[in-house]
Structure 1
Amino acid sequence: MIEASGLTKRYGRTLAVDDLSFTVRPGRVTGFLGPNGAGKSTTMRLALGLDHPTSGAIHINGRPYRQLSHPLRAVGALLDPRWVHPNRSARAHLHWLAVAGGIPTSRIDEVLDLVGLSAVAGKRAGGYSLGMSQRLGIAAALLGDPEVLLFDEPANGLDPEGIHWIRTLLKNLAADGRTVFVSSHLLSEMANTADDLIVIGRGRLISQTTTAEFIERATKATVLVRTPQAERLRAVLTQQGCGVADQPDGALLVTGATGEQIGEAAAAHQVVLHELSPQRGSLEEAFMQLTGDAVEYAAQPAGAEDSDLLAAGR
């Protein structure tokens, strides 16, 4: 378990983390989301004792990281996949980590096989692609078979097969009862992977809830309707105060009514329905809705002159 209480970190005049409190529970994948500059990486560094909080605390299994008896066996972390001596092989890198952490060296081959690097374990890490470096970083995080895992952008640089692999790995680790804390900008992946979400902006907590509750709370419920009598149904639903929007394929997207209510209204007016599908909002929509005021670096829409310059390649 990871617990933050009143966690605050200042760098000079910059307030990177501001009175942040949250709990990451075992047995679930917890996504850690926020715009650029929100304080996610700083929070993870504080959790791992790489920075000292200005005030407040963050504990792993009830203790600060620096007080853990066997930290590499208690906590596995991936913050920077390039943090490997470029002239060391993957096997040599994992070997010195195992020796330093009191981990049996037999574990090296196990994690190399798990992340798919066995065939290139003897090659220089400096020649690895970003995706291969990510896999090596994940191998290092898993080396001590820890109960708590922290990953910062673990899918960065991975191809589609690799993304599917890391998604499955994270879910399996949580299913084993481990605490899995994952920071990512890939919202579609977090929607498919995370059971819970912790969302921050400008260093402050915006939301801590399940992924489903986060999406439901921040997006409008809609129902996709297909009918050969679209105009008639539109008139009925509009009269009842519903919002009705045309879709490119001829369907109607209805807001302000449940599927049951739409079905009953259609039956009462003898409208034939071919489809009645409640639509779940996306994590991206919910994220944009709740973090819009916390974006530090927001691009402005290009005006006519800007568009001309971009088109001219200037």
Structure 2
Amino acid sequence: MIEVEGLTKRYGEKVAVNGLTFTVRPGVVTGFLGPNGSGKSTTMRMVLGLDRPSAGAVRIDGLPYGRLQDPLRHVGALLDAKALHGGRSAFHHLLALAQSNGIPRSRVDEVLDTVGLTAVARKKARGFSLGMGQRLGIAGALLGDPRILMFDEPVNGLDPEGIHWIRTLMKSLAAQGRTVFVSSHLMSEMALTADHLVVIGQGRLLADTSMADFIRHNARSYVRVRSPQREQLLDVLRAAGTVPVEAGGGVLEVDGAAAERIGELAARHGIVLHELSPRQASLEEAFMRLTAESVEYHARAETSSGGWGDAGGGRGGGKVT
């Protein structure tokens, strides 16, 4: 378990992390989301004792990281896949980690096999692709067979097979009762992987909730309906207390009513339906809506005159990730 309490980090006048309090529990995959510059990487570094908090505390299974004996046996982390000695082979990179943490040599071969790098175990890491580097970093995180795992952008550089593999791995680790904490900008993948979400913006906690509740509370879900008896359908829906919105092309979008209820209303009044489809809001839509006021870096779209127009406003300021 990871417990974050009142965690704050300042760089001069810049507040990168501002009073964060949350708990990452075992048995589920917890996604860590936030716009660029929101403080996610800084938070993860403080969890691992790489940065010192200005205020607050982090406990890993009840202890600060610095007080853990054999830390790789307690927590494994992938924060930067490039943080390795390029002149060492994959095998010797992991062997050095194992020997410094009292981990048996046999474990090196096991994790190389788990991440699919056995065939290149004796090749120097400097020749690895980005995806191979990610796999080696994940092998390092798994090396001590820890109960807690932290991954920052673990799918970077992975091909579709690799993305499916890391998704399955994280779910499997959580199913074993381990604590899995993962940060990613890839919303479609996070929607398939995470059970729980911690969302921050400008260093502050915005949400700490289940995936389902996060989407339900922060994005619109509706039912799309189309009928040749459109006017009659509108009257029936309004009489039933719903608020249908005309979406063009004869389509109505209905909030606040289940598709089953709309179908039953139509059947009761003899209305033919050509379409009745519930539309579930996406994680990306919910995330964009919740964090709209917390985005620090806005792109600007090129105008037809060749200049650059603001694509959503923006602010200056140093970047802290």
Fold agreement, TM-score > 0.5: yes
Looking at structure 2, the residues matched to 176 and 118 of structure 1 have their Cα atoms a distance apart, in angstroms, of: 24
Looking at structure 2, the residues matched to 25 and 308 of structure 1 have their Cα atoms a distance apart, in angstroms, of: 45
Partner of residue 119, structure 1: 119
Q: Unaligned regions of 5+ residues in structure 1, if any?
A: 310-314
Alignment size in residue pairs: 308
**Cα distance, 1:11 vs. partner?**
1.1
**Cα distance, 1:226 vs. partner?**
4.7
Q: Which moved more, 1:127-136 or 1:220-229?
A: 220-229
Q: Unaligned regions of 5+ residues in structure 2, if any?
A: 310-321
**Cα distance, 1:132 vs. partner?**
0.4
* 1:124–1:230 distance in 2 versus 1, CA, 3 Å: farther
Matched-pair identity in %: 62
TM-score (norm 1): 0.92
Over aligned residue pairs, what C-alpha RMSD do you find?
1.9
1:128-139 equivalence runs, <5 A: 128-139=128-139
> Does structure 1 residue 261 correspond to structure 2 residue 261?
yes
**Cα distance, 1:51 vs. partner?**
0.6
CA contact 1:20–1:204 (8 Å) conserved in 2:
yes
* 1:99–1:308 distance in 2 versus 1, CA, 3 Å: closer
TM-score (norm 2): 0.90
CA contact 2:76–2:140 (8 Å) conserved in 1:
yes
Looking at structure 2, the residues matched to 151 and 308 of structure 1 have their Cα atoms a distance apart, in angstroms, of: 36
Partner of residue 313, structure 2: none
Partner of residue 184, structure 2: 184
Please identify runs of 4+ aligned residues in structure 1 that moved more than 6 A: none
Looking at structure 2, the residues matched to 238 and 186 of structure 1 have their Cα atoms a distance apart, in angstroms, of: 39
**Cα distance, 1:243 vs. partner?**
2.8
Partner of residue 198, structure 1: 198
Looking at structure 1, the residues matched to 268 and 208 of structure 2 have their Cα atoms a distance apart, in angstroms, of: 42
Partner of residue 237, structure 2: 237
Q: Tell me the amino acid that sits aligned with residue 211 of structure 1.
A: M
CA contact 2:28–2:175 (8 Å) conserved in 1:
yes
CA contact 2:301–2:308 (8 Å) conserved in 1:
no
* 1:65–1:247 distance in 2 versus 1, CA, 3 Å: farther
* 1:115–1:232 distance in 2 versus 1, CA, 3 Å: same
Partner of residue 210, structure 2: 210
* 1:274–1:57 distance in 2 versus 1, CA, 3 Å: same
CA contact 1:247–1:253 (8 Å) conserved in 2:
no
* 1:174–1:247 distance in 2 versus 1, CA, 3 Å: farther
Looking at structure 2, the residues matched to 104 and 176 of structure 1 have their Cα atoms a distance apart, in angstroms, of: 22
Partner of residue 54, structure 1: 54
Any idea what SS the aligned residue of 2:157 has? coil
Looking at structure 1, the residues matched to 50 and 39 of structure 2 have their Cα atoms a distance apart, in angstroms, of: 14
CA contact 1:202–1:294 (8 Å) conserved in 2:
yes
* 1:151–1:262 distance in 2 versus 1, CA, 3 Å: same
Q: Tell me the amino acid that sits aligned with residue 176 of structure 2.
A: D
Q: Tell me the amino acid that sits aligned with residue 141 of structure 1.
A: A
CA contact 2:242–2:255 (8 Å) conserved in 1:
no
